[in-house]
Amino acid sequence: MGLTDWLSRFRRRPASTGERGEADAAIYLRQQGYRVLGTNLRSRRGEIDLLALTPDETMVVIVEVKAGTGSGPPPEVHVNARKQKQLVTLACGLA
């Protein structure tokens, strides 16, 4: 194994769209005074990409990152009633 091969094992792979979106959302929320409670939170019931708490601690914010071309349906279409219920259940268990 050459030096280049050995060093390539330590290079970070390029961030996916989801990772970039989560990082951007976390930065924005922190700038607005929100407290990020966690990212990529998993339980047996599902996953939350980013969970945050409002500055006055009265609401939980759930960020779901989706990749898209921008020409499809708006993002909120992907969070139907079933998904909303799942996210609330997850947030209650993780917050």
pLDDT digits (tens, 9 = 90+) for 45-75: 788 888 898 999 888 888 877 766 667 777 7
- Per-residue pLDDT band for 95 (boundaries 50, 70, 90) equals low
- Look at phi and psi of residue 66 and say left if phi exceeds 0, alpha if psi is from -120 to 50, else beta: beta
Task: Return the DSSP state at 58.
Answer: S
Q: What mean pLDDT comes out for the span 85-92?
A: 82
pLDDT band at 14 (very low <50, low <70, confident <90, very high): low
Token pair of 79, please? Answer: 């969070």
CA dist 86 to 55, 75, 79, 80, Å? 24, 17, 10, 10
